[in-house]
Amino acid sequence: MSTDKDFRRLAKANVKNARAILSQMEQYIDGKDEPAKALAYAFFHVLGYHLELGDLRPSNVHLAALLRGVE
């Protein structure tokens, strides 16, 4: 990835994929299939950990970007 356009394209594709995953997990929660609900609960538990306490905290993502030389 060398240009801003490439970064933007990749970021938008990742946002689209993330929305699709979140939408699917939400459908699992609202559905009647118990194994699918359990999967969604586990997914959101792990996502919550990474957002609240783990490597997806903005400060940690920023640090990782700095260590890679990306600002």
Tens of pLDDT, residues 1-59: 468 888 899 989 999 999 999 999 999 999 999 999 999 999 999 999 888 887 777 77
Distance CA 65, CA 15 (A): 18
Average pLDDT value for residue range 58-71:
74
Tokens encoding 14: 């990742």
pLDDT of residue 67: 78
Distance CA 28, CA 42 (A): 11
Residue closest to 48 by CA, chosen among 25, 68, 66, 71: 25
Q: Is the pTM value of this prediction over 0.95?
A: no
pLDDT of residue 2: 67
Q: Domain count for the chain, please give it.
A: 1
Residue 62 Ramachandran class (φ > 0 left, ψ -120 to 50 alpha, else beta): alpha
Domain that holds residue 22: 4-68
